[in-house]
Chain A
Amino acid sequence: MDPSLPCLLLFTLVGSVVSSFDSRHHNSTRRYGYCVLGAGPAGLQMGYFLSKANRDYIILERNSGPGSFFNKYPRHRKLISINKIHTGRRNREFNLRHDWNSLLSDKPELLFRRVSSEFYPPADAFPLYLSMFVKELGLRVQYGVDIGRIRAAQSAAGRSYILTDQHTSDYTCSVLLVATGLWVPQKVEFVGSDLVEGYESISTDPEDYRDQAVLILGKGNSAFETAQSILGRASRVHMLSSSPVRLAWQTHYVGDLRAVNNELIDTYQLKSLDGLVEARLEKIVIAQRKEQSRRRSGGGKKERKRQLYLTLKKYVHSREEKNGSDVTGEELPGHHIDNFPMRKPYDRVIRCLGFRFNFSVFDSSACPPHSENAKGRLPGVTAWYEGKDTPGLFVLGTAAHSRDYRSSAGGFIHGFRYTARAVHRVLERRYHSNRWPSTQLLTTQLQSWILKRVGEASGPYQMFEVLGDVVLLRGSHCEYLEEFPIQALPQFSSLSGREVSSHGLIVVVMQYGKKKIDYLGRSRAETDWTKAWQSNFLHPVLYYYDTLPTEEEMKLRPPGWPLPRPKAIHHMVEDFLTEWDGPISHIQPLRRFLEHCVHTDLRAFYAESCFRLSLTHRKPPQFCQQGYLKHQGVPHSGRPRQHVHDAGPAPAEQDAGTSGADPAFPNYLAPAGASMSSGLKLDL
């Protein structure tokens, strides 16, 4: 283990003493430009951006250290976010594609790899990493502040949010960034739900499950993680939820069942006493059998283990009494269907249904609505993560996952570290008039720049179909904006502070194919670039619009598309190495698409060609204008190995046949025959 870790802990300890010292002024109101609620990965990530921009901010955390969720969860203490240290590359940006735990900062070494080298790291490493992050970046975190009530106040100065902690101290903030994560266990009400244990409190000692039959409600990663840990001790593990297992390697959604947790699928398919079952939880009943318990209770043997039966609501006779958890034999499904799969009783039923957002601390004036998806477990937010109807209140981190629930990575560290950055850019624009950062490029450099981004950028790669690069075309140059939340494209100008010109814009997004295929079958990958739109794996897609799409267009976009139908679209064919640098398959088709968007020839020319084109035209092509005419021509290298069909000294004229600028073959040569003799029939 890293010998510096104990020191680090000590520092953290000292740090928290100091911060609690600071917070001894009770019952006073403190004002901040920004309050970040929660010192988890999302809160700290935002804290870093605020700190770097020198903003007046505070991070409030009810526990005594950062990332306290990870002190308890996942219960079996193994993170399934990959920590790939050895990528064979030194590109920091590229390496973040395979580092799902680190947060963004300008310190190249402030990465998760410093606390763990394991591919699936232990959960304890994560709070350790967060402490290091806070310490090295000097983030302002106030621990031990438990906010119990949040309300909005409207004043002449504008809207603000007032947070009240356990000591009734108030914190007034112009902007509230809610990064509280999800930690309230999700429960489903059904008859007998009180007989069920929760993931949050079950024993993690496999010995406690020796020879027991266990029913797990849920088929997500926490359910499978639990199943996996008891597989060697329990007699039967059955898993039940309404929908079949979604495998992450089939859905490309990291929240679905990861292969690292899927051992039970193996034992199920190899018929080794475990199994998966589908049923809606609202329809089931978990109960004990009446007769049995009555008969034996008289005997005084209370130690006998209770048996839990699963039955369906429709078989259970309605009864008035509240405690309806005991059923008769006739009420069991086995009585009706003799081969009912779950006719045998269980020793335990465990609920592993995930977590929900804690709405309870929000006053009605400040409460974001429940999301339409994810069973309403999450707050509903706009495309730029502001609470719907709560201006100035933004939701960050896992709680903001309703935007890309079950599709992209917005609910996970490696995804929301980028959405946090996007939100910060929105804040900088709105409250400090700093426009969205952009890189100005010559249009002839755009192709290389796009190739650079699709080859290395981590943000659009993780947050595929959610964050995309926006290229504002301006004629001979363009502006390149990184990682804009593309659902907010209709509000692009106000959010970014940048205008779209009449030349239009290009949006570069990473996408998976939408077809359900055999993901390990022979035809899973497309290699022909002309069929790039049928790529199944992650690949770059470029959308060209002449004007910004409207909100209406965004709403009515083609099913499954991240953006409305554009003027032109370009798919770059999926690449096994995710490098997209093939001259014929990737680069040339991209160039032609860009040429189509900017209506101009973007090819590179040797100095000799530029010389000719500059003398025969008032203005040569853009490449010559931006290179050759600025004395940066590319002379044809001395080696005359240049026999290329099109690329002799006069390529433009060859190809310009289509554009009509020049004849395909220079007819002026014909009369030059003074010194030529026709030797066609010459006999020597």
Chain B
Amino acid sequence: MEKAARGKKDIVLGYVQSLGTQEHRSMMETAYVYGSRYQFILITGGPVLKHLGVNESSHSSGVWFLHCRVHSGFMTPMTPERCPLTRMRKPLSTLSLHAFLQLMEAPLVSEVYDDPSSVQPPQFPYQQTPQVFLFSRPATEHLDLDTATALAWRLRGLALLLLVHRQSPAVRTPDEYNAAYRLPEKSSEVKYLTLHSLDEVLDIFINQEKEEEEEEEEEDEEEDDSHFGNVDDEIAATVFENRGNLLDMDSITQLTSENFHTAVAQSSLTVALFYLKWDAVSMAFLSSFIEVAELLADSEVHDVQMSAVDCGEWTDLCAAQPGSAVPFQPITAFPSVLLLRPRESAQPYRGMLGSEALHRFIMMSRADCPLLLSTQDDVTSFLQDVSHPELTGYKPDRVVGLFKTHTPTGLQVFTAAAKSLRGDVLSGLLTDGPAEKWAAGLAVDLPAVLVFPSWRTHTHPSALPASSSAEELLTHINTARLHPMPELTVENLPSFLWLGKALLILFVGEEEDEIGRRQNQALVEEMRGVVELGGWRMERYLPCWIHLGRTPAGMSVLGSYLGSMPPLPALVLTHLPSGGGVYQYPPNTPIAASSVLLWLQRVEDGAESPAGTLGEDSWPPAADFYDFLNIMDTQEADSTQQQSPKEEEEEEEDEEEVDVKEHLVSNEATHDNLDSNTHSEL
């Protein structure tokens, strides 16, 4: 196998203890997406393991990457006839495997001419990977590169290696250091050290790994302890696993009933997270929230105060009753994030509960809302990222209102809508003369609201119909922002599902190379052709596509639609208003606009039979509850039953009790009480 693959494909070798496990599944899913790029091998035991140096009784799955494709010149000298191999050190899961494979694609050694401190932290998809810096001098350049390559091989899958050329004037690292590294969690601080041997670097990372592994092993043991002990809620499980790690709350302000008003008054923008310690989602989000706080601090954003309210403690503040007026309603859903500005009512954050989305929202919220534009130049710079250079990377959608100031009716509606979109959309306001001039150029009349979605060129805004209320305008704006032929992602799916249309989804796989990329591009173009050709008939459909490499969650969607994994690309029609049927475009027919339309027509006519169905809409509890009543019935049957309806019984009992007392008193013979349990001495 190895020989066959030599020079052509890298091999991914997976070992799972048994088939049908989560690990097996992760392996298969990954193979499906990356199948064209790597040779996948799955083993459940045998001599291969021994060869790999694995003790079969260790009961842990493993993945090895065999670098068979690499040019021999780049190979390590250790076993010339064997492909060099890298073991994946993280526990096997779809996500970790993805990350691992992506890491395998990273350049072994990158050469830089910057100081380590100014080298960017690793970019997607390597953001969780540590960086190691070695320094090179012009005199020993080749030797240094060899050393770096040797170390890089040993660090492969653990860290990225960067070779810094000292002769560059940008490098300011003192000569006493010959190495440096940067860990992903600890913000972006670079640590410098002086190495005497390469093993020292290895120690740093391998020890770290070991600690983590040990931790996990401990956890495994604990979890095995009780069969009731499994947390079956995925978010709760993550939080439960990380319960040993204390969150570092230093970067956020703790808001309390006492400091709330002063804290909010101090900052132009306070972002407040209301959380409950026992709510797993709260705790999962709290760590993302802290990440954002650290990121803001690191990027020198000082006008935003990140804060949190522990609603388990400051229950009166969260109920909006700390004894004085607060600018928000009682919090009844956790976690909740409010954006507080002095003397303004709170704005709720309505985005994804993750660090990336929150960070983007906060950065966008810092912009004026709406930004007052007074000249055509203002407009141009507003539309071209000039007025907010820090937001360039976010590709924000923009909205511009064009109004006459003496007829402010629509203006209020626009301002209200802009306020509620703050953080999500950049909004600008242009009035009177310049507004009229610009509107005339675009052939619209004032008042007008123009939407500039990020996916469209700035010269073609959507002009919105007049709206009587902010809600109506919001709906119009949000509809105009939607891409007509979107790539569905985890983040944007809800916006499109909201349209309630049937979904015509094209699934494409991870591209192997430039050719693959172009093929996928062509497919997406063909889908656009379907829209154009179909015209009004396509209005009830949302044509869209899912890139399985970028959105691996799409794989199991496809699998669940069709019952098996079809060859890619695959075109599927689902979420039809008529029923739960899922239809697959004939896999061996080329995807061409005209034939797709014909196929859609046949589906509408009922001439196609569904390839699968949507799942049921009822979600019964996944696990049985612990029926205490039943257990009490079996163990103490008498105590759990309603009494029989005869009232006299009770009274009789009472009398009996009285009798007992009388008995005690009238029978004062002191000897009796030696046996009795009461303290009676009479």
- Asked if A635 and B357 make an inter-chain contact with CB atoms under 8 angstroms apart, the answer reads yes
Residues of B within 8 A of A10 (CB): none
Contacting residues of chain B (600-640) with chain A, CB-CB under 8 angstroms = 614-629, 631-632, 639-640
- CB–CB A245/B679 < 8 A: yes
Pairwise interchain contact B560-A666, C-beta atoms closer than 8 A: yes
Cβ of B276: which chain A residues have Cβ within 8 Å of it? 448, 451-452
**B288 engages A637 (CB within 8 Å):** yes
Given A278-B664, A666-B25, are A634 and B235 also a contact pair (CB < 8 Å)? yes
- Which residues of B in the span 418-452 have a Cβ within 8 Å of any Cβ on A? none
Q: Contact: B619 with A600, CB < 8 Å?
A: yes
Q: Chain B contacts of A589 at CB under 8 A?
A: 625-626
Which B residues are CB-close (under 8 A) to A627?
281, 353
Residue of A nearest to B241 (CB): A644
CB of B96 closer than 8 Å to a CB of A: yes
User: Which residues of B lie under 8 Å from residue A646 when comparing CB positions?
Assistant: 230-232, 234, 237
Residues of A within 8 Å of B565, CB to CB, are 668-669, 671-672
A188 in the interface, Cβ–Cβ < 8 Å?
Answer: no
Q: Which of B626-659 contact A (CB under 8 A)?
A: 626-629, 631-632, 639-645
Complex CA distance for A653 and B22, rounded to whole angstroms = 11
Residue of A with least CB distance to B677: A244
Contact of B128 with A by CB under 8 A? yes
Partner of A634, one of B281, B628, B666: B281
Q: List A contacts of B87 (CB < 8 A).
A: none
Whether B315 and A278, one on each chain, are in contact in the complex, defined by CB atoms closer than 8 angstroms, is no
Is there contact, CB below 8 Å, between A606 and B234? yes
Kindly list chain A residues whose C-beta atoms are within 8 Å of the C-beta of B556.
612, 616, 649-650, 653, 666
Q: Is A320 interfacial (CB 8 A cutoff)?
A: no
| In the complex, chain B residues whose CB is within 8 Å of the CB of A664 | 20
For A568, what are the chain B residues with a Cβ–Cβ distance below 8 Å? 625, 627-629
Q: Which of A439, A616, A638, A666 contacts B128 (CB 8 A)?
A: A638
Most chain B beta-carbon neighbours within 10 Å: one of A277, A587, A634, A651: A634
CB neighbours of B208 from chain A (8 A): none
User: Bound complex: CA of A420 vs CA of B200, how far in Å?
Assistant: 71
Interface residue ranges of B522-565 to A (CB < 8 Å): 551-554, 556-557, 559-565
A564-B642, A584-B228 are known contacts. Are A615 and B493 too (CB-CB below 8 A)? yes
Contacts of A312 on B, CB cut-off 8 Å?
668
Partner of B236, one of A587, A630, A652: A587
Indicate if A440 sits at the interface (CB-CB under 8 A): yes
**Interface set, chain B 170-223, CB cutoff 8 A to A:** 185, 212, 216, 223
Residues of A44-80 contacting chain B, CB below 8 A:
none
Instruction: Identify which of A94, A279, A618, A635 contacts B580 (C-beta below 8 A).
Output: A618
B36 contacts the other chain (Cβ, under 8 Å)? Answer: yes
- Asked whether A603 and B233 contact (CB < 8 A) given A638-B127, A683-B48, the answer is yes
Q: Is the CB of B234 within 8 A of A445?
A: no
Kindly state the separation between the CA atoms of A595 and B491 in the bound complex, as whole angstroms: 28
A566, chain B: closest CB distance, angstroms: 7
Residues of B within 8 A of A89 (CB): 313
* Total contacting residues, chain B, CB less than 8 A: 153
Residues of B within 8 A of A461 (CB): none
Q: Is A532 an interface residue (CB 8 A)?
A: yes
In the complex, whether B95 has a CB less than 8 A from a CB of chain A is yes
Instruction: Tell yes or no: A23 within 8 A of B by CB.
Output: no
**B629 contacts A618, C-beta separation under 8 Å:** no
**B495 touches which of A609, A613, A631, A641 (Cβ 8 Å):** A631
Per the bound structure, the CA–CA distance linking A520 and B359 in Å amounts to 54
* Contact with A651, one of B232, B315, B351 (Cβ below 8 angstroms): B232
> Chain A residues near B25 (CB, 8 Å)?
648, 650, 665-666, 669
Question: Residue of B at shortest CB range from A531?
Answer: B631
A532 CA / B353 CA spacing, docked (Å): 35
Q: Which residues of A contact B280 (CB under 8 A)?
A: 583, 604
Whether A612 lies near B621 (C-beta < 8 A) is no
A451, B498: Cα distance in complex, Å: 33
A25 within 8 Å of B by Cβ? no
Residues of chain A within 8 A of B498, CB atoms compared: 629
Choose the segment among A405-413, A499-507, A673-681 that binds chain B (4+ C-beta atoms closer than 8 Å): A673-681
- Classify chain A's interface size: 35 or more
Within 8 A of B (CB), among A327-371: 333, 337, 339-341
Known contacts A558-B639, A632-B350; is-contact A643 B564 (Cβ 8 Å): no
Decide if B499 is an interface residue (CB 8 Å cutoff). Answer: no
User: Is B134 engaged at the interface, CB distance under 8 Å to the other chain?
Assistant: no
CA distance A655 to B622 in the complex (A): 6
A588 on interface, CB distance cutoff 8 Å: yes
CB neighbours of A28 from chain B (8 A): none
Asked if A518 lies at the interface with its beta carbon under 8 angstroms from chain B, I say no
Residues of chain A from 580 to 601 with CB closer than 8 A to chain B in the complex? 581, 583-584, 587-589, 591-593, 595-596, 599-601
A31 on interface, CB distance cutoff 8 Å: no
A533 in contact with B321 (CB, 8 Å): no
B574 within 8 A of A: yes
CA distance in complex: A39, B434 (Å): 72
Chain B residues, Cβ within 8 Å of A680: 43-46
Residue contact A583 to B240, C-beta cutoff 8 Å: yes
A584 and B233 alpha carbons, distance in the complex (Å) = 11
Given contacts A592-B626, A682-B46, contact A557 B95 (CB under 8 A): no
Which among A652, A665, A677, A681 is the interface contact of B46 at CB below 8 angstroms?
A681
Task: Note all chain A residues with C-beta closer than 8 A to B466.
Answer: none
Contacts of B679 in A (CB 8 A): 244-245, 276, 278
Shortest Cβ distance from A609 into B: residue: B234
A342 to chain B, nearest CB (A): 8
Taking the closest CB of chain B, its distance from the CB of A374, in whole angstroms, is 14
Partner of B355, one of A92, A637, A654: A637
Contact A601 B223 (CB under 8 A): no
Query: Is A639 part of the binding interface, using a Cβ–Cβ cutoff of 8 Å?
Result: yes
Give CA–CA (A682, B231) in the complex, Å. Answer: 38
Contact of B680 among A244, A587, A643, A652 (CB under 8 A): A244
Q: Is B77 an interface residue (CB 8 A)?
A: no
Check: A530 CB closer than 8 A to any chain B CB.
yes
- A255, B627: Cα distance in complex, Å: 35
Q: Is the CB of A557 within 8 A of B615?
A: no
Q: How far is the CB of B203 from chain A (nearest CB, A)?
A: 21
Q: Is the CB of A674 within 8 A of B1?
A: no
- B32 proximal to A (CB < 8 A): yes
Enumerate chain B residues within 8 angstroms of A644, measured Cβ to Cβ. 231, 234, 237-238, 241
Asked if B2 and A615 sit within 8 Å, CB to CB, the answer is no
| Interface set, chain B 335-376, CB cutoff 8 A to A | 350-357
Select the residue from B44, B46, B565 with max chain A CB neighbours within 10 A.
B565
Q: With A and B bound together, what is the CA distance between A107 and B257 in angstroms?
A: 13
What's the Cα separation between A601 and B13 when bound, in Å? Answer: 37
Contact A557 B642 (CB under 8 A): yes
Q: Does B323 belong to the interface (CB within 8 Å)?
A: yes
- Asked if B288 and A677 make an inter-chain contact with CB atoms under 8 angstroms apart, the answer reads no
Q: Tell me if A452 and B311 are in contact (CB < 8 A).
A: yes
Known A-B contacts A337-B668, A533-B628; A634 and B621 likewise in contact (beta carbons under 8 Å): no
Contact A668 B228, beta carbon cutoff 8 Å: no
Given A533-B632, A569-B628, verify A456-B493 contact (CB < 8 Å): no
* Cβ B278 vs Cβ A601 within 8 A: no
Q: B557 near A615 (CB under 8 angstroms)?
A: yes
Interface presence of B312 (CB below 8 A): yes
> A621 in the interface, Cβ–Cβ < 8 Å?
yes
Q: Which of B35, B257, B281 has the most CB of A within 10 A?
A: B281
Which residues of B lie under 8 Å from residue A90 when comparing CB positions? 256-257, 313-314
Can you list 27 residue pairs at the A/B interface with Cβ under 8 Å? Answer: A92-B257, A108-B316, A108-B323, A278-B679, A337-B668, A455-B312, A530-B228, A559-B643, A568-B627, A584-B229, A603-B233, A611-B553, A613-B615, A614-B493, A634-B235, A639-B185, A641-B90, A643-B96, A648-B94, A659-B620, A659-B621, A662-B560, A666-B560, A667-B563, A675-B31, A680-B45, A682-B43
- Taking A439-B330, A638-B355, A649-B553 as given, write out 11 further A-B residue pairs in contact, using a Cβ cutoff of 8 Å, ordered by the A residue number: A337-B670, A588-B236, A595-B623, A601-B621, A603-B232, A618-B614, A648-B93, A652-B622, A661-B619, A666-B560, A680-B44
